[in-house]
Amino acid sequence: MTTIAAIQQATAKYFGCTVNDLTANRLAHARARHVAMYLCREMTGKSFPTIGRAFGDRDHSTVIYACRKVEMELAKGNQL
Q: For the segment 6-60, what is each residue's pLDDT rounded down to a tens digit?
A: 999 999 999 999 999 999 988 999 999 999 999 999 999 999 999 999 999 999 9
Work out the number of other CB atoms within 10 angstroms of the CB of residue 40: 28
What pLDDT is stored for residue 80 in this prediction? 77
Please tell me what DSSP assigns to residue 61.
H
Helix axes 4-15, 30-44, angle to 10 degrees: 140
What pLDDT is stored for residue 79 in this prediction? 80
What pLDDT is stored for residue 60 in this prediction? 98
Q: List the domains of the chain with CATH numbers.
A: 4-75 (1.10.1750.10)
What pLDDT is stored for residue 13 in this prediction? 97
Q: Give dist(CA 68, CA 72) in Å, integer.
A: 6
What pLDDT is stored for residue 1 in this prediction? 65
Sequence-separated (6 or more) residues with CB below 8 Å from residue 6:
none
